[in-house]
Amino acid sequence: MGCVFQSTEDKCIFKIDWILSSGEQAKDEYVLYYYSNLSVPIGRFQNRVQLMGDILCNDGSLLLQDVQEADQGTYTCEIRLKGESQVFKKAVVLHVLPEEPKELMVRVGEMIRMGCVFQSTEVKHVTKVEWIFSGWRAKEEIVFRYYHKLRMSVGYSQSWGHFQNRVNLVGDIFRNDGSIVLQGVRESDGGNYTCSIHLGNLVFKKTIVLHVSPEEPQKW
């Protein structure tokens, strides 16, 4: 969540506060504060938030990980510069979508969509999407890779091994969506599928367990 104080004054950040307001009836909740070169996450946000902006450039941007439904609401950033009474404020509204299922069931011969979306407030482009398969007995295998070359504004995707020509990217890369569709499902496709979405130096991972049941017998 971005929070940058654009100022011509050559003064350092003295204090940063991040506060969450989740509703009309709920009390405001401290998320993190920064003071005297010390960054302190508060309460349930401990081990889940950290400052990722460059303090020397008046950047108090926040990274929130392992997002939960209760994290939805308005996040207000307050920046104070040393020797200044003025307070810079910025509000960011965070909407949390319901989590997609982590276990899926499909029959042999059918197609299945596996969702993978990186919910982030960072204005960064997806640079890479990778799906890795780990079968019940087999070694890890690359299912699909997508690379985006920013200079050319072109994306390159490729499916691998026995997944070749059976996997397509169906998510909207520009919305951090690396979802895929697997066609012509085989019994050997049952296992764990781990998706990795890269936004610069940020990486989101999600694992889906796919259960494959035998093809339904034809009725005569």
Question: pLDDT digits over 185-212, tens only?
Answer: 999 999 999 999 988 777 888 899 999 9
pLDDT band at 183 (very low <50, low <70, confident <90, very high): very high
Higher-scoring residue by pLDDT: 216, 29:
29
* Lowest pLDDT segment from 38-47, 58-67, 121-130, 145-154: 145-154
Domains and CATH numbers, the chain: 13-94 (2.60.40.10), 103-213 (2.60.40.10)
Give the strand pairing for 29-35 and 49-51. unpaired
Highest mean pLDDT among 20-29, 38-47, 181-190: 181-190
Question: Mean pLDDT, to the nearest integer, of 112-117?
Answer: 92
Highest mean pLDDT among 8-17, 73-82, 210-219: 73-82
- pLDDT score, position 153: 45
- pLDDT score, position 173: 86
Higher-scoring residue by pLDDT: 4, 19:
19
- pLDDT score, position 152: 44
Q: What share of the chain is helix, strand, coil (3-state, %, to 5)?
A: 10, 50, 45
Quote the CA–CA distance of 96 and 67 in Å, as a whole number.
8
Question: Mean pLDDT, to the nearest integer, of 50-68?
Answer: 84
* Percentage of the residues of the chain whose pLDDT score is greater than 70: 85
* DSSP secondary structure of 103-150: EEEEETT--EEE--B----S-----EEEEEEEESSSPEEEEEEEEEET
* Percentage of the residues of the chain whose pLDDT score is greater than 90: 31
